[in-house]
Amino acid sequence: MTPTRTPRWSRILRIPVMAAVLLLVSLLIAPTANAGPARTQNPVAGQSFSIATDVTFAPFEFQDSSGNFVGIDMDLIRAIAEDQGFTVDISPLGFDAALQAVQANQADAVIAGMTITPARQQVFDFSEPYFESGVQMAVLDTDNEVTSYEDLAGKQVAVKNGTEGATFAESIKGQYGFTTQYFADSASMYDEVRTGNSAAVFDDFPVLQYGIAQGNGFKTVTEKESPSNYGFAVNKGQNPELLAAFNTGLNNLKSSGKYDDILNTYIGAAATESDNSIPGLIKSEYKELLKGLWLTIVLTFISIVIALVLGAFFGLFRVSTKPWLRAIGATYVAIFRGTPLLVQAFFIYFGIPAALGFQMSAFTAGIITLSLNAGAYMAEIVRGGILSVDRGQMEASRSLGISYLTSMRKVVMPQAIRTMIPSYINQFVITLKDTSILSVIGLAELTQSGRIIIARNFQSFNMWLIIGVMYFVIIMALTMLSNRLEKRINK
């Protein structure tokens, strides 16, 4: 059968029909294709980013009396986030810890009055400069002896870790014959001068200007030196979209005038009238202090419970008849008793997540650090308590056919616990005080709450007195409770 041939005119018509179909499809696809770039212009929209900062660096970042993180940097990053459609979660760390958090990918970026330097550009990617700063020297307003760099000969100067003020002081100290003393936060740096141990501070001029306006008792005695730029930073090679969004948002804020509004809110602000007496500070800051105290108690309680379990296990390992169990117990105790708690906190919060590629909350890292550290001491308490029981007790129990574990649980441990109670309570108190070290990883426990408040009101003596009394009351209450508990057990 002969195949039917398609008429020639039909084949001719097929060409324009196909062209029309292709044109229609292209028109339908075109809007989608054109919409693609528009959506990819801001790939961070709808995302949330963890932003590390130092909340003791007014007027750029500090905490107000309502507990909100405010300042030039805080207002700026929130305004840029709103402009670019993303959200931010502020992580209040010290300056050094903030940089380490970004390097360890525990935070996405840092904004903390951070000067853009060639050395830092090797480690971080920076945004366009958002503020031009400079270094000034300040002394107590009652000091009429130090009026220039020459007057610093033979004296000591206070500076803050990692700041441009510290870099500038180091660059001229050989020329003018002074020494430098480093501090982790601004409040401690200024207190060093108030005590008379240092003659002056080197700090960024807007920080000095704000502090003087708030009545911190200092005055500037030199002109602004070493102009430098602040930048928003991300880890090298990480989060380029966030960096681009920051630059775009910054330019938008400058064009709209909102950038200038933010600066005018803080720089050159007049001193605020407030009651800085001890009763006045308690009245205005009690909420923040109680929040810090509550976190201190929670950290202590959870850590002690876990440490009791760890101490019991490794303490029994330490007195085991099996050498390999004794070796495990001895290694654990040696590691956590032989290294400082501060180093352990940094290693657990920054080192381990960076090495293994995951994120860990500061609270979790704090619990792990305190638990492992206290557990090592608890293990030694258990070992000492067991060894304090006469060996004949165990031998007599075993001679009656009772197993080792049952003898330990029924005969030795009940006697050992009585001798361990005072040491347990002592370790409880030590752990409560050790929570203050966790401020280095951003936990706002009682000590860190005090630092944050001092950064705002500059009332160091009164605030540390209040915090000291709070610690004393809690520890004395705990001690009296332990004494009562010990008496009841001994009966």
Q: How many residues make up the chain in this entry? A: 491
Least confident of 49-63, 401-415, 465-479: 401-415
Report whether 318 contacts 467 (CB < 8 A): no
Contacts of 280 (CB under 8 A, 6+ apart): 274
What is the token pair recorded at 392?
């004949």
Distance CA 111, CA 74 (A): 8
Tokens of 399: 């001679």
* Contact call for residues 75 and 262 (beta carbons, < 8 A): yes
- Predicted confidence at residue 247, as pLDDT, reads 94
Tell which CATH classification among 3.40.190.10, 3.20.20.70, 3.40.47.10, 1.10.10.10 matches the domain 133-228.
3.40.190.10
pLDDT at 361: 84
- Tokens coding 205: 């001029």
Average pLDDT over residues 370-375: 93
The residues of the chain that CATH labels 3.40.190.10 are 48-130+232-266, 133-228
pLDDT at 199: 93
DSSP code per residue over 120-141: HHTTEEE-S--EEEEEEEEEET
For 299-317, the pLDDT digits (tens) are 999 999 999 999 988 988 8
177: DSSP letter: T
CA distance 402 to 394: 9
Task: List, by residue range, all CATH 1.10.3720.10 domains of the chain.
Answer: 278-490
The pLDDT of residue 19 is above 70: no
For residues 203-221, give the mean pLDDT. Answer: 84
The SS3 call for residue 183 is strand
Please check the confidence at residue 363 and state whether its pLDDT lies above 60. yes
Q: Lowest-confidence range among 33-47, 127-141, 201-215, 353-367?
A: 33-47
Name the 3-class secondary structure at 93: strand
Pairing of strands 156-160, 200-204: parallel
How far, in Å, CA of 35 to CA of 421, rounded?
A: 70
Task: Round to whole Å and give the CA distance between 90 and 448.
Answer: 16
H/E element holding 72?
Answer: helix 72-84
pTM for this model (two decimals): 0.66
CA–CA distance, 153 with 402 (Å, rounded to integer): 77
Confidence of residue 264 (pLDDT cuts 50, 70, 90): confident
- Average pLDDT of 202-211? 84
Of 11-25, 61-75, 374-388, least confident by mean pLDDT is 11-25
Q: Is the pLDDT of residue 30 over 70?
A: no
Confidence of residue 23 (pLDDT cuts 50, 70, 90): very low
Report the pLDDT value the prediction gives residue 312, as an integer from 0 to 100. Answer: 87
Structural tokens at position 200: 């002056």
The pLDDT assigned to 488 comes to 74
Q: Does residue 17 or residue 238 have the better pLDDT?
A: 238
DSSP 322: S
Give bridge partners of residue 126 from the DSSP assignment: 233
Q: What are phi and psi of 142, to 5 degrees?
A: -95, -5
pLDDT of residue 274: 59
For residue range 76-133, what is the model confidence (pLDDT) as tens digits? Answer: 999 999 999 999 999 888 788 888 889 988 899 999 988 898 889 999 999 999 998 8
Q: At what angle do helices 413-434 and 278-318 cross, to 10 degrees?
A: 140
pLDDT greater at residue 448 or residue 12: 448
The whole-number pLDDT of residue 268 equals: 55
Is residue 34 predicted with pLDDT exceeding 80? no
Contact by Cβ (8 Å): 110, 181: no
Task: Report the topology of domain 48-130+232-266.
Answer: D-Maltodextrin-Binding Protein; domain 2 (3.40.190)
Q: Which residue has the higher pLDDT, 52 or 384?
A: 52
pLDDT of residue 11 exceeding 70: no
| Residue 437, pLDDT score | 87
Higher pLDDT, 237 or 226: 237
- Model confidence over 339-355: pLDDT tens digits? 999 999 989 988 888 78
Q: Which two tokens stand for residue 254?
A: 């400058």
Q: What Å distances lie between residue 468 and 151, 291, 450, 472, 477, CA to CA?
A: 37, 16, 10, 6, 14
Summary mean pLDDT of the chain? 82
Q: Among 58-72, 252-266, 412-426, name the one with the lowest average pLDDT.
A: 412-426
- Residue 52, pLDDT score: 92
pLDDT at 319: 83
pLDDT of residue 443: 82
What CA–CA distance (Å, rounded) separates 30 from 36?
10
Please give the full DSSP string across 44-81, using - where no structure is assigned.
Answer: TTT-EEEEEEETEETTTEEE-TTS-EESHHHHHHHHHH
Supply the pLDDT for residue 126. Answer: 95
Q: Per-residue DSSP letters for 199-250?
A: SEEEEEHHHHHHHHHTT-SEEE-S--EEEEEE--EEETTS-HHHHHHHHHHH
Q: For residue 134, which of 50, 185, 207, 213 has the smallest C-alpha distance?
A: 207
Q: Quick one: fold of 278-490?
A: MetI-like fold (1.10.3720)
Q: What pLDDT, on a 0 to 100 scale, did the predictor assign at position 17?
A: 46
Q: By percentage, how much of the chain surpasses pLDDT 90? A: 35
